[in-house]
Amino acid sequence: MAGIYRSTRYVLQNAFGSRSLPGAVRFYSQKPDPAPLINVDVDSKTGVATVTMNSPPVNTLNTPFLNEMGGVIKELEKNKTRGLILTSSSNSVFSAGLDIMEMYKAPRDQMAVFWTTLQNTWLSLYRTGIPTVAAINGHAPAGGCLLALSCEYRVMVGPKFTIGLNETQLGIVAPPWFLICMREAVGPRQTELALTSGKMFTATEALNIGLVDQLVSNKEEALAEAHKFIARFAKIPPLARKLTKEFTRQEGIKYMEEKMLDDLETFVDVASSPSAQKGMEMYLEALKKKST
């Protein structure tokens, strides 16, 4: 089994193509797709990139989306972008997290490709030397919360949106690296309380426990505060900043570097188990009922 996963990873690692940015201008990531999943807009004055998730209806994280996100981060690093602000084009959803359809009734090798892509893209975002901010302008359950937690600073539009790692509510388990990200933000006590119950926090609750750093009332304010956060680093030497970030985040980085294959095998085993499949089926049914 590990052999399949290793070769899958090899293929994926070589699948991140790259292309040069034509200076500090707007560009769309990777594929010449008329409807890109992610838009990137680099401010020509500040060099800060606004990365807008644009995969309607709810920005689910599936393999094509994650590949594109990985390519975007690589491209921004190559172009020495000054900051990365992650936000959504939706008015109500930042990201609905992992695409359940990538896990529900999926063959094991498809699940393996999906999870490996997630691991790689997460690691790229989590450890990038570029200052990162999540401008959370909508609900951010599960993998959506993970994306926000992987950034260095979180500005959330309140009060009506929610955020949290709700996996246990679906009968699935947030892997250790999700948990590490949460613990870095809110500490061990709040992490255990939140994850065992799969709690979704209102924006105000999230601020109170440190899950987000700032509340604002609309997306424009969120973007403005995100730019302010990035401006703090104008006079900090980038290498000192990057290494300090790596040291601070070494638990998560080390986990992924050393345990990537174990994590993958555990994921495929747990996600394909009858009880997890049943949990996902019921959850999908509930989502469908809600939307009809």
Ligand X SMILES: CC/C=C\C/C=C\CCC/C=C/CC(=O)SCCNC(=O)CCNC(=O)[C@H](O)C(C)(C)COP(=O)(O)OP(=O)(O)OC[C@H]1O[C@@H](n2cnc3c(N)ncnc32)[C@H](O)[C@@H]1OP(=O)(O)O
In this complex, which beta carbon is closest to ligand X, that of residue 49 or of residue 66?
66
Number of Cα atoms under 13 Å in the Cβ half of residue 109: 8
CA gyration radius, the chain: 18
Catalytic-residue membership of 98: yes
Q: How far is the CB of 267 from ligand X (least distance, A)?
A: 4
In this complex, which beta carbon is closest to ligand X, that of residue 101 or of residue 193?
101
Q: What angle do CA 152, 227, 56 make, to 5 degrees?
A: 75
Q: How far is the CB of 28 from ligand X (least distance, A)?
A: 23
Catalytic residue among 138, 166, 170, 195: 166
Q: Is residue 25 a contact partner of residue 43, using CB atoms and an 8 Å limit?
A: no
Q: Is residue 121 a contact partner of residue 114, using CB atoms and an 8 Å limit?
A: no
Catalytic residue among 71, 143, 144, 252: 143
Catalytic-residue membership of 166: yes
Q: How far is the CB of 137 from ligand X (least distance, A)?
A: 13
Helix/strand/coil for 109: helix
Positions that interact with ligand X (CB under 6 A): 57-58, 60, 92-93, 96-101, 139, 141-143, 166-167, 172-175, 266-267, 270-271, 276, 287-288, 290-291
In this complex, which beta carbon is closest to ligand X, that of residue 21 or of residue 174?
174
Structure tokens at 129: 């030397």
Q: How far is the CB of 181 from ligand X (least distance, A)?
A: 12
Catalytic-residue membership of 75: no
Q: How far is the CB of 92 from ligand X (least distance, A)?
A: 5
Query: From CA 164, how far away is CA 41, in angstroms rounded?
Result: 28
DSSP summary character for residue 100: G
Catalytic residue among 68, 75, 152, 167: 167
Q: Is residue 283 a contact partner of residue 215, using CB atoms and an 8 Å limit?
A: no
H helix or E strand, kind and range, residue 285: helix 274-291
Q: Is residue 119 a contact partner of residue 150, using CB atoms and an 8 Å limit?
A: no
What would the DSSP string read from start to end of 64-95?
Answer: HHHHHHHHHHHHHHHTT-SEEEEEESSSSBS-
Q: Which residue is nearest to ligand X (CB)?
A: 97
In this complex, which beta carbon is closest to ligand X, that of residue 81 or of residue 87?
87
In this complex, which beta carbon is closest to ligand X, that of residue 45 or of residue 290?
290
In this complex, which beta carbon is closest to ligand X, that of residue 49 or of residue 163?
163
Catalytic-residue membership of 146: no
Catalytic residue among 21, 66, 84, 98: 98
Q: Is residue 85 a contact partner of residue 53, using CB atoms and an 8 Å limit?
A: no
What residues does 86 pair with on adjacent strands?
Answer: 51, 134
Q: Is residue 13 a contact partner of residue 117, using CB atoms and an 8 Å limit?
A: no
Q: How far is the CB of 236 from ligand X (least distance, A)?
A: 33
Catalytically annotated residues: 98, 143, 166-167
